[in-house]
Amino acid sequence: MNATIKNIKGAGLGLKRELIPQIQSRYNSPEIANINFLEIAPENWIGAGGKSAHDLAWFVERYPIVCHGLCLSLGGPKPLNTSFLEQVKLFMEMYNIPLYTEHLSYCGDTQGYLYDLLPIPFTEEAVKYVATRIRQAQDILGRRIGIENASFYAAAPISEMDEVTFLKAVLDEADCLLHLDINNIYVNSVNFNFDAHAFLRQIPKDKIVYAHIAGHLQVKPDLLVDTHGEDIIDPVWALLDEAYRLFGTFPTLLERDTNIPPLTELLPEINKIAEYQARHQRVQEAA
């Protein structure tokens, strides 16, 4: 398959190890017809051999694949891991993967990785700092990358702007793409008491490359945790519906990283993404 970003369309699913045999056994079945693309974390696959390499080759032949990174730490104080980026470049070229995205956050300090996604202060200085690192990553990879709006749980007291203003400033300064996370908008809106739909209306349509949608854990009425381990709730579906109305349909992937059920229990949410997309496409074609 000669993959390009244009091949990334419809509804997608994160390729977790436990789902591999379930998808393979149902390939070409109408049951999974709405799985149009798959997402992998390159950190989990680079250098893989044996059965893992064989499995990945099987999927690359049959599905468009996107890479969604976990450890680049775009906002961190440590210099970018350029050797890792070189590995990602070779990996993407080897498997003909057209797109790499990362979180607009940081996950490490000068001593090592912190194993969490931490918020970047929303300042002009941070805009320029992060954008420079994104441009460096793009230069190494030889392509534009997507950055994902991240969930966070503490606001930096030195911030000079709100989250969406910061996000748009980074997108402009770095000339990169947006990996739009619908659930993260909702989670942050509850945790920091802002209007998720007002946030969404400020998103630059032309920057969206694809989206995530997921479930989260409600710890308290005013505290949500982005676990990717629960069913998607109605207000998050409503936000996706509004996004399609505002921007047209775009590729949208179901994230499920914990409490992963059998594939048959994930298919209703994948099918619901596809149903939303089909409905909005009909409306747009009729307009």
Q: What percent of the chain lies above the pLDDT cut of 70?
A: 95
How far is it, in rounded angstroms, from Cα 95 to Cα 98?
9
Model confidence at 1, pLDDT cuts 50, 70, 90, reads very low
**pLDDT tens readout for residues 33-78:** 999 999 999 999 999 999 999 999 999 999 999 999 998 999 988 9
Residue 112: count of CB within 10 angstroms of its CB? 8
How far is it, in rounded angstroms, from Cα 197 to Cα 182?
10
pLDDT surpasses 80 at 110: no
Model confidence at 109, pLDDT cuts 50, 70, 90, reads low
- The token pair that represents 167 in the structure block: 């996000």
Element (H, E) at 241: helix 234-247
DSSP code for 104: S
> In the predicted model, what is the mean pLDDT of residues 271-281?
98
Report angle CA 249, 252, 258 to the nearest 5 degrees.
Answer: 160
What does DSSP say about strands 100-103 and 223-225: parallel, antiparallel, or unpaired?
Answer: unpaired
How far is it, in rounded angstroms, from Cα 241 to Cα 247?
10
What angle, 0 to 180 degrees and rounded to 10, lies between the N-to-C axes of helices 50-62 and 82-95?
60
Computed over every residue of the chain, the mean pLDDT equals 94
Which domains, ranges and CATH numbers included, belong to the chain? 5-286 (3.20.20.150)
**pLDDT tens readout for residues 131-189:** 999 999 999 999 999 999 999 888 888 999 999 999 999 999 999 999 999 999 999 99
